[in-house]
């Protein structure tokens, strides 16, 4: 157990300890995916509690890739001020944070995604009611580009 509280380095990033908070489902963002003060406080509290690395909750790279309301999005620069505030809150407490980028594919519905779900194939996901539209090659490239843009 002693090693858990020792510093650790991952790809040149030094963590205060080896406590890592895995990605979870917070649901504390606005309907369009903007981080809220409540989410920022949650992450700040985790860092204050000496979590060395926080992996963000599910963060969608395109609006139609959102699985449920209240999830965080990174599909527009309009969210940059809140994303910076969230990152700063963690860093101010000595923690580190990384982001989990996702596109849920067919694991959504048109009410949440704003359109028919998109997936690699038109196979319906059991837990969801709609059959997704099969992605075209151009749409696959667009989603891959959205992941790249989200990571910048």
Specify the pLDDT at position 96: 97
Is 3 contained in some domain?
Answer: no
**Residue numbers of the domain that contains 123:** 16-151
Is 85 contained in some domain?
Answer: yes
What's 112's domain CATH number? Answer: 3.20.20.70
Q: Is the pLDDT of residue 114 over 70?
A: yes
Q: Is the pLDDT of residue 85 over 70?
A: yes
Q: What is the mean pLDDT of residues 19-45?
A: 94
Q: Encode pLDDT of 122-144 as tens digits.
A: 998 888 889 999 999 999 999 99
Specify the pLDDT at position 1: 66
**pTM tops 0.85, yes or no:** yes
Q: Tell me how many domains the chain contains.
A: 1
Q: What is the DSSP string of the chain?
A: -GGGGS-EEETTEEESSS-EE-------B-TT--B-HHHHHHHHHHHHTT-SEEEEEEEESSGGG--STT-EE-S-GGGHHHHHHHHHHHHHTT-EEEEEEE--TTSS-HHHHSSS-EESS-PPPTTSSSPPEEPPHHHHHHHHHHHHHHH-
Specify the pLDDT at position 126: 85
């Amino acid at each position: 157990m002693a090693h858990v509280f020792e510093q650790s380095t991952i790809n040149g990033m030094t963590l205060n300890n080896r406590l890592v908070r895995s990605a979870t489902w917070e649901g504390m963002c606005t309907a369009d995916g903007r981080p809220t003060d409540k989410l920022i406080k949650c992450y700040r509290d985790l860092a204050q509690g000496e979590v060395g690395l926080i992996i963000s909750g599910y963060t969608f790279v395109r609006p139609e890739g959102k699985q449920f309301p209240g999830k965080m999005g990174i599909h527009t620069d309009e969210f940059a001020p809140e994303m910076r505030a969230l990152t700063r809150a963690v860093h101010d407490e000595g923690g580190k944070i990384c982001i989990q980028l996702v596109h849920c594919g067919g694991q959504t519905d048109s009410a949440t995604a704003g359109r028919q779900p998109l997936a690699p194939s038109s196979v319906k996901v059991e837990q969801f009611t709609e059959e997704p539209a099969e992605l075209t090659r151009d749409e696959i490239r667009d989603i891959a580009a959205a992941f790249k843009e989200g990571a910048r």
